[in-house]
Structure 1
Amino acid sequence: MEKHIEAAQLIQEGKLEEAAKLLNEAIQEDPNNTIAYVNFGHLLSIIGEKDRAITFYQKAIEIDETMATAYYGAGNTYFEQEKYEEAIGMFKEAIANGLVEADAYFMLGLSYSSIGVLPYALANFCTATEKNPNDVDAMFQYGLTLAQLEQVDEAITVLEKVVKLDETHADAYYNLGVAYTFKEDGEKALDCFEQALKIQPGHLLAGNGKKQLEAFLKGE
């Protein structure tokens, strides 16, 4: 087994020191081993050495400008550092170089959402859900972004899909409650707030939403 492949398995098992040793050896034996640089970047990101991780991802890109996984790894690391503009650039490069998987579009959507560019976030969340219709996180973010853009009917449709995929998604029920309140459907809104509280009794937003809605319905 090649050392960088064995190292990747060790990283998954949490044996990071052993993995680092193997990756060092792999790079010494072949300084152009792009996969070893990417795996080392991943390892460094895991242990919190984000800037060093970026250096390793960039080294892989210098050797091979089409290394999609290096761009994706760098994008994730920039995202974790809250450097969203840099993350966007990296995720776009990952996609441009063939990493057209749901996760790449999801992370690109999260990055755009984090800087408030909601139409671009929406487009990428939409693509992520098309590529993986069972991705609860992507579906939820898609529904949430629709709601933020005041596309309430579409948001309800998507959030209903979320709770079908995950019946314990308290935040989806809460946001459905907000959406139904906006649609002036008090009965459905109340039911959604109650579902959220049943799943997560300490859900403050759902509790407050239920309290305010009940007071409104009673004419208080």
Structure 2
Amino acid sequence: MRAQPRTKWRAAALAVAVVAGATACSTSRAADPGGAAPSSAGASASASPDAASGEKDSSFYAPQVRASAQRAGVSPQLLMAILYNESYKPHDPAFQRSWQKIKKDAAFGIVNMHKAAFDETKQGRPFAHRDWEELPDDPALAVEAAAWFLHDLARQLPADRPGTYTKDELLALGYNTGAGNMAAFARGARPGSQAQSYLDRLHANWDKAGEAVRG
């Protein structure tokens, strides 16, 4: 869930492409042997991919965001803003799996969720039978998991906090840095440069996230 410069991913794409090609040449299996088909939760077919990268703009997933946010009882604008925050990374399923071969602790899906976070979040939820490895192929599952992760973070917020940050700001910081750090920020600790950068991007994405979920 932590951001890295977009330029790093573009540079890494060449190296990953070589790895992906080697994998394809060395095995006859499909890239995702056993993964689930993408869910059709209502994404608008009229949304267009980003011209430079081929990635869909995060607003493409607004229907999933609205539905998942309602089920989890979280702000759809916050959830959409987090999708925008996490869009720095290429989300092509083949790319993600190739990158994971290089970086074993890499995150999966359009919400950049790590395995431990997904496995904890899914407990007792309707998607408890799903696997983290399905996230690259199923944006709806990724959005649903992110919504419930935010729901669980909200339950861990201290009731008494100084008001330095809004609830949504704290949840975004928790999404990026974990529940323990979120609680520290809620009590008045100052974010480091990386967490502050995430918060700054949240502010930059806030208005367009609101427009996307209202559309």
Given the two structures, how large is their TM-score scaled by the length of structure 1? 0.24
Higher-RCO chain (CA-CA 8 Å, sequence separation at least 6): 2
Higher Rg of the two aligned structures? 1
TM-score by length of 2: 0.25
Larger relative helix fraction: 1
